[in-house]
Amino acid sequence: MSPDIERVIALQRLDSAVIDAERRLADEPEREKGFAARLESASERLASARHRLTENQNARREIEKEVAIQQARLSKFRDQLMDVKTNREYQAIQHEIEIAQNEVRTREEKILERMIEADDLNATHKRAEGELAAEQKAVEADRRTMQGENGELKASLERIAGERLALVAAIDQKVLAIFELVARKRNGIAVAEARDGICTICHVRLRPQVFNTVLRNEQIIQCDTCNRILYSTPKPAAAARDNVGQPAQ
Protein backbone atom coordinates (compact mmCIF):
# COMPACT_ATOMS: atom_id res chain seq x y z
CA MET A 1 0.00 0.00 0.00
CA SER A 2 1.30 3.45 -0.85
CA PRO A 3 2.46 5.47 2.19
CA ASP A 4 0.06 8.28 1.26
CA ILE A 5 -2.92 5.93 1.36
CA GLU A 6 -1.72 4.54 4.68
CA ARG A 7 -1.44 8.08 6.01
CA VAL A 8 -4.89 9.21 4.87
CA ILE A 9 -6.37 6.08 6.44
CA ALA A 10 -4.51 6.86 9.68
CA LEU A 11 -5.57 10.50 9.45
CA GLN A 12 -9.19 9.47 8.97
CA ARG A 13 -8.98 7.13 11.93
CA LEU A 14 -7.76 10.03 14.11
CA ASP A 15 -10.39 12.45 12.78
CA SER A 16 -13.18 9.91 13.24
CA ALA A 17 -11.99 9.30 16.81
CA VAL A 18 -12.11 13.07 17.39
CA ILE A 19 -15.63 13.32 15.93
CA ASP A 20 -16.76 10.43 18.12
CA ALA A 21 -15.09 11.82 21.27
CA GLU A 22 -16.51 15.30 20.70
CA ARG A 23 -19.98 13.91 20.13
CA ARG A 24 -19.81 11.95 23.37
CA LEU A 25 -18.46 14.97 25.27
CA ALA A 26 -21.28 17.08 23.84
CA ASP A 27 -23.76 14.61 25.32
CA GLU A 28 -22.76 15.56 28.87
CA PRO A 29 -25.43 18.27 29.43
CA GLU A 30 -28.11 15.91 28.09
CA ARG A 31 -26.91 13.11 30.36
CA GLU A 32 -26.87 15.54 33.31
CA LYS A 33 -30.49 16.36 32.51
CA GLY A 34 -31.24 12.65 32.59
CA PHE A 35 -29.64 12.35 36.04
CA ALA A 36 -31.65 15.33 37.31
CA ALA A 37 -34.86 13.85 35.90
CA ARG A 38 -34.23 10.54 37.66
CA LEU A 39 -33.68 12.29 41.01
CA GLU A 40 -36.68 14.53 40.50
CA SER A 41 -38.94 11.61 39.73
CA ALA A 42 -37.82 9.75 42.87
CA SER A 43 -38.22 12.92 44.97
CA GLU A 44 -41.69 13.48 43.57
CA ARG A 45 -42.73 9.93 44.45
CA LEU A 46 -41.49 10.48 48.02
CA ALA A 47 -43.22 13.87 48.31
CA SER A 48 -46.46 12.37 47.04
CA ALA A 49 -46.22 9.48 49.54
CA ARG A 50 -45.52 11.94 52.35
CA HIS A 51 -48.45 14.10 51.27
CA ARG A 52 -50.89 11.17 51.28
CA LEU A 53 -49.65 10.12 54.72
CA THR A 54 -50.15 13.64 56.10
CA GLU A 55 -53.62 13.78 54.58
CA ASN A 56 -54.47 10.49 56.23
CA GLN A 57 -53.22 11.72 59.62
CA ASN A 58 -55.12 15.01 59.31
CA ALA A 59 -58.32 13.23 58.31
CA ARG A 60 -57.99 10.87 61.27
CA ARG A 61 -57.45 13.78 63.66
CA GLU A 62 -60.60 15.47 62.31
CA ILE A 63 -62.67 12.34 62.88
CA GLU A 64 -61.23 11.96 66.38
CA LYS A 65 -62.37 15.53 67.15
CA GLU A 66 -65.86 14.66 65.95
CA VAL A 67 -65.88 11.56 68.15
CA ALA A 68 -64.88 13.70 71.14
CA ILE A 69 -67.77 16.07 70.39
CA GLN A 70 -70.25 13.19 70.20
CA GLN A 71 -68.89 11.70 73.41
CA ALA A 72 -69.28 15.05 75.17
CA ARG A 73 -72.92 15.13 73.97
CA LEU A 74 -73.41 11.56 75.20
CA SER A 75 -72.16 12.34 78.70
CA LYS A 76 -74.34 15.48 78.73
CA PHE A 77 -77.42 13.40 77.79
CA ARG A 78 -76.57 10.80 80.43
CA ASP A 79 -76.41 13.55 83.05
CA GLN A 80 -79.79 14.84 81.86
CA LEU A 81 -81.19 11.34 82.13
CA MET A 82 -80.69 11.55 85.91
CA ASP A 83 -82.96 14.59 86.15
CA VAL A 84 -85.89 13.59 83.87
CA LYS A 85 -89.35 13.92 85.28
CA THR A 86 -91.51 12.28 82.59
CA ASN A 87 -91.40 9.16 80.54
CA ARG A 88 -91.65 11.30 77.40
CA GLU A 89 -88.57 13.30 78.37
CA TYR A 90 -86.77 10.06 79.14
CA GLN A 91 -87.55 8.64 75.71
CA ALA A 92 -86.53 11.84 73.95
CA ILE A 93 -83.12 11.86 75.63
CA GLN A 94 -82.73 8.12 75.11
CA HIS A 95 -83.34 8.77 71.41
CA GLU A 96 -80.62 11.47 71.37
CA ILE A 97 -78.26 9.07 73.07
CA GLU A 98 -78.86 6.45 70.41
CA ILE A 99 -78.20 8.96 67.65
CA ALA A 100 -74.96 10.09 69.33
CA GLN A 101 -73.87 6.47 69.87
CA ASN A 102 -74.46 5.75 66.19
CA GLU A 103 -72.41 8.80 65.27
CA VAL A 104 -69.55 7.58 67.47
CA ARG A 105 -69.72 4.07 66.00
CA THR A 106 -69.65 5.25 62.38
CA ARG A 107 -66.72 7.52 63.12
CA GLU A 108 -64.80 4.83 64.96
CA GLU A 109 -65.20 2.62 61.91
CA LYS A 110 -63.82 5.45 59.78
CA ILE A 111 -60.87 5.82 62.15
CA LEU A 112 -60.17 2.11 61.80
CA GLU A 113 -60.28 2.43 57.99
CA ARG A 114 -57.82 5.33 58.19
CA MET A 115 -55.50 3.32 60.43
CA ILE A 116 -55.49 0.39 58.01
CA GLU A 117 -54.86 2.82 55.17
CA ALA A 118 -52.03 4.40 57.19
CA ASP A 119 -50.22 1.04 57.35
CA ASP A 120 -50.09 0.94 53.53
CA LEU A 121 -49.18 4.61 53.28
CA ASN A 122 -46.39 4.22 55.82
CA ALA A 123 -45.00 1.29 53.89
CA THR A 124 -45.20 3.22 50.60
CA HIS A 125 -43.51 6.20 52.23
CA LYS A 126 -40.70 4.09 53.61
CA ARG A 127 -40.22 2.40 50.24
CA ALA A 128 -40.13 5.77 48.47
CA GLU A 129 -37.47 6.96 50.94
CA GLY A 130 -35.38 3.90 50.19
CA GLU A 131 -35.86 4.31 46.45
CA LEU A 132 -34.79 7.95 46.55
CA ALA A 133 -31.66 7.05 48.52
CA ALA A 134 -30.87 4.24 46.07
CA GLU A 135 -31.45 6.52 43.07
CA GLN A 136 -29.17 9.17 44.57
CA LYS A 137 -26.42 6.58 44.95
CA ALA A 138 -26.99 5.21 41.42
CA VAL A 139 -26.95 8.68 39.87
CA GLU A 140 -23.80 9.54 41.76
CA ALA A 141 -22.13 6.37 40.47
CA ASP A 142 -23.33 6.99 36.90
CA ARG A 143 -22.11 10.58 37.06
CA ARG A 144 -18.70 9.46 38.33
CA THR A 145 -18.52 6.94 35.48
CA MET A 146 -19.44 9.62 32.95
CA GLN A 147 -16.89 12.04 34.38
CA GLY A 148 -14.24 9.33 34.24
CA GLU A 149 -15.09 8.52 30.63
CA ASN A 150 -15.14 12.17 29.67
CA GLY A 151 -11.79 12.73 31.35
CA GLU A 152 -10.37 9.90 29.27
CA LEU A 153 -11.97 11.33 26.12
CA LYS A 154 -10.39 14.73 26.76
CA ALA A 155 -7.02 13.12 27.34
CA SER A 156 -7.40 11.11 24.14
CA LEU A 157 -8.29 14.29 22.22
CA GLU A 158 -5.01 15.84 23.35
CA ARG A 159 -3.08 12.74 22.39
CA ILE A 160 -4.78 12.59 19.00
CA ALA A 161 -4.00 16.27 18.34
CA GLY A 162 -0.31 15.48 18.82
CA GLU A 163 -0.43 12.42 16.59
CA ARG A 164 -2.33 14.36 13.94
CA LEU A 165 0.30 17.12 13.82
CA ALA A 166 3.01 14.54 13.18
CA LEU A 167 0.92 12.79 10.54
CA VAL A 168 -0.01 15.99 8.73
CA ALA A 169 3.67 16.98 8.62
CA ALA A 170 4.54 13.68 6.93
CA ILE A 171 1.72 13.54 4.39
CA ASP A 172 1.97 14.82 0.83
CA GLN A 173 0.52 18.36 0.82
CA LYS A 174 -1.60 17.79 -2.31
CA VAL A 175 -3.09 14.65 -0.80
CA LEU A 176 -3.71 16.52 2.45
CA ALA A 177 -5.49 19.29 0.53
CA ILE A 178 -7.82 16.72 -1.09
CA PHE A 179 -8.42 15.11 2.28
CA GLU A 180 -9.25 18.40 3.99
CA LEU A 181 -11.54 19.54 1.16
CA VAL A 182 -13.56 16.32 1.11
CA ALA A 183 -13.65 16.16 4.92
CA ARG A 184 -15.14 19.65 5.04
CA LYS A 185 -17.85 18.71 2.56
CA ARG A 186 -18.57 15.24 3.95
CA ASN A 187 -18.97 15.76 7.69
CA GLY A 188 -15.37 14.91 8.45
CA ILE A 189 -15.28 11.58 6.60
CA ALA A 190 -12.87 11.90 3.66
CA VAL A 191 -11.82 8.28 3.26
CA ALA A 192 -13.92 5.27 2.25
CA GLU A 193 -13.18 1.62 1.84
CA ALA A 194 -14.09 0.14 -1.52
CA ARG A 195 -15.35 -3.41 -1.25
CA ASP A 196 -16.95 -5.72 -3.82
CA GLY A 197 -16.90 -2.90 -6.35
CA ILE A 198 -18.82 -0.52 -4.12
CA CYS A 199 -17.90 2.60 -2.14
CA THR A 200 -18.86 1.44 1.36
CA ILE A 201 -19.92 4.91 2.47
CA CYS A 202 -22.05 6.28 -0.38
CA HIS A 203 -22.88 2.72 -1.56
CA VAL A 204 -22.56 3.62 -5.23
CA ARG A 205 -20.97 1.05 -7.55
CA LEU A 206 -17.57 2.08 -8.86
CA ARG A 207 -16.59 1.75 -12.50
CA PRO A 208 -14.72 -1.58 -12.82
CA GLN A 209 -11.61 0.21 -14.02
CA VAL A 210 -11.67 2.52 -11.00
CA PHE A 211 -12.25 -0.37 -8.63
CA ASN A 212 -9.37 -2.34 -10.13
CA THR A 213 -7.05 0.61 -9.60
CA VAL A 214 -8.27 1.01 -6.01
CA LEU A 215 -7.56 -2.69 -5.37
CA ARG A 216 -3.88 -2.02 -5.96
CA ASN A 217 -3.80 0.74 -3.25
CA GLU A 218 -1.03 2.50 -5.16
CA GLN A 219 -2.52 5.90 -5.85
CA ILE A 220 -5.06 8.37 -4.53
CA ILE A 221 -8.38 7.60 -6.25
CA GLN A 222 -11.59 9.40 -5.32
CA CYS A 223 -15.10 8.02 -5.46
CA ASP A 224 -16.88 9.51 -8.50
CA THR A 225 -20.00 10.04 -6.42
CA CYS A 226 -18.96 11.18 -2.93
CA ASN A 227 -15.35 12.21 -3.78
CA ARG A 228 -13.95 10.32 -0.82
CA ILE A 229 -10.46 8.88 -1.13
CA LEU A 230 -10.84 5.15 -1.74
CA TYR A 231 -8.76 2.29 -0.46
CA SER A 232 -9.12 -1.43 -0.44
CA THR A 233 -8.42 -3.83 2.41
CA PRO A 234 -6.21 -6.59 1.01
CA LYS A 235 -7.72 -10.05 1.48
CA PRO A 236 -5.68 -11.59 4.30
CA ALA A 237 -3.63 -14.38 2.71
CA ALA A 238 -3.31 -16.19 6.04
CA ALA A 239 -7.05 -16.30 6.60
CA ALA A 240 -7.64 -17.56 3.06
CA ARG A 241 -5.09 -20.34 3.59
CA ASP A 242 -6.56 -21.29 6.99
CA ASN A 243 -9.96 -21.66 5.43
CA VAL A 244 -8.75 -24.39 3.11
CA GLY A 245 -10.15 -27.75 4.11
CA GLN A 246 -12.72 -26.23 6.46
CA PRO A 247 -16.34 -27.11 5.85
CA ALA A 248 -18.31 -24.49 3.94
CA GLN A 249 -20.50 -22.32 6.19
Please say which residue, 67 or 226, places its beta carbon nearer to Zn ion: 226
Please say which residue, 67 or 192, places its beta carbon nearer to Zn ion: 192
Please say which residue, 128 or 199, places its beta carbon nearer to Zn ion: 199
Contacting Zn ion (CB under 5 A), which of 171, 175, 194, 199? 199
223 binds Zn ion (CB under 5 A): yes
* In contact, 167 and 10? CB cutoff 8 Å: yes
Please say which residue, 159 or 195, places its beta carbon nearer to Zn ion: 195
Find the angle CA(140)-CA(144)-CA(150) to the nearest 5 degrees: 145
* In contact, 219 and 2? CB cutoff 8 Å: yes
Return the closest-CA partner of residue 190 out of 205, 201, 174. Answer: 201
182 binds Zn ion (CB under 5 A): no
Please say which residue, 67 or 199, places its beta carbon nearer to Zn ion: 199
- 198: Cβ–Cβ under 8 A, 6 or more apart, which residues? 204, 205, 206
The interface region with Zn ion, picked from 120-128, 159-167, 177-185, 201-209 by CB under 5 A, is 201-209
DSSP 15-61: HHHHHHHHHHHHTHHHHHHHHHHHHHHHHHHHHHHHHHHHHHHHHHH
- In the bound complex, what is the minimum distance in angstroms from residue 137's beta carbon to Zn ion? 49
Please say which residue, 18 or 202, places its beta carbon nearer to Zn ion: 202
> In angstroms, rounded to a whole number, what is the distance separating the alpha carbons of residues 41 and 80?
59
206 binds Zn ion (CB under 5 A): no
214 binds Zn ion (CB under 5 A): no
Sign of the four-CA dihedral 16, 19, 25, 28: negative
Contacting Zn ion (CB under 5 A), which of 17, 202, 215, 220? 202
Return the closest-CA partner of residue 151 out of 25, 17, 18. Answer: 25
226 binds Zn ion (CB under 5 A): yes
- In the bound complex, what is the minimum distance in angstroms from residue 211's beta carbon to Zn ion? 12
**Can you give the binding site for Zn ion, defined by CB under 5 A?**
199, 202, 223, 225-226
